[in-house]
A and B are shown apart, each in its own frame.
Chain A
Amino acid sequence: EAQVTQNPRYLITVTGKKLTVTCSQNMNHEYMSWYRQDPGLGLRQIYYSMNVEVTDKGDVPEGYKVSRKEKRNFPLILESPSPNQTSLYFCASSPHRPGQGYEQYFGPGTRLTVT
């Protein structure tokens, strides 16, 4: 089954304790992305990756890091989490076919609470 998986699905942590949210897709997609969703703000892009070893900042990258060492994996790293990073996080992937219509496939979401 084609899917994007995220782990963990729920996480409660404390300020300053480094954490990693994993994301994996089995569709051989070139493009992967992380979004955060906050009430009243919709989804905002944090980082994206066009392919292995190619990453770039989205609209709200502060406080986050990513890496893309393999095509299928795109972990989101919070080196020193703060309460304002409490949010619902989505990983997404899509094939990179410029000029053509294609949907982004979203993972199930990770609900993070930083106390």
Chain B
Amino acid sequence: AQKITQTQPGMFVQEKEAVTLDCTYDTSDPSYGLFWYKQPSSGEMIFLIYQGSYDQQNATEGRYSLNFQKARKSANLVISASQLGDSAMYFCAMREGGGGADGLTFGKGTHLIIQP
């Protein structure tokens, strides 16, 4: 079973609209972290936002917020007031455990295109 599922391979959104990118995860570990990365066409991986499993509040970073619904194992990324520069691939990722291997498990990504 996939540990990270992103159900939207691609999305077209009008500029200035809010965007929600879906991510569900699967883990039995009570300690985990959830990440979102942006990959523009230039290829680099840009960290956007982090949510820890014990965090009580949803994470926010500027125009990015993470809608964390623990019971549903959901960690959707919300981008407010989208801009043309937001066009990119977006990856949801998870790190499990508090003391073991720290590798990230990535979803397959969502290709977001912002239209003027």
Contacts and interface: CB of A to CB of B under 8 A. Distances in A.
A interface secondary structure, majority: strand
Contact of A43 (B44, B51, B106): B106
Q: How large is the interface on A (under 10, 10 to 19, 20 to 34, 35 or more residues)?
A: 20 to 34
B104 A45 contact: yes
Given A42-B107, A43-B91, A106 B45 contact: yes
A105 B107 CA distance: 18
B70 to A, nearest CB: 15
Nearest to A45: B103
A40 B101 CA distance: 25
B50 A103 contact: yes
A42 B103 contact: no
A103 B24 CA distance: 19
A44 interface: yes
B47 interface: yes
Contact of A42 (B35, B99, B108): B108
Interface string B103-114: 111111100000
Interface of B: 4, 31, 33, 35, 37, 43-45, 47, 50-52, 55, 91, 93, 97-99, 101-109
Interface of A: 31, 33, 35, 40-45, 48, 50, 56, 58, 88, 90, 92, 94, 96, 98-99, 101-106, 108-109, 111
13 contacts: A33-B102, A42-B107, A42-B108, A43-B45, A48-B102, A50-B101, A88-B43, A104-B35, A104-B47, A106-B37, A106-B45, A109-B43, A111-B43
> Which 4 pairs of residues, A with B, have the shortest CB-CB distance?
A106-B45, A99-B98, A42-B106, A98-B99
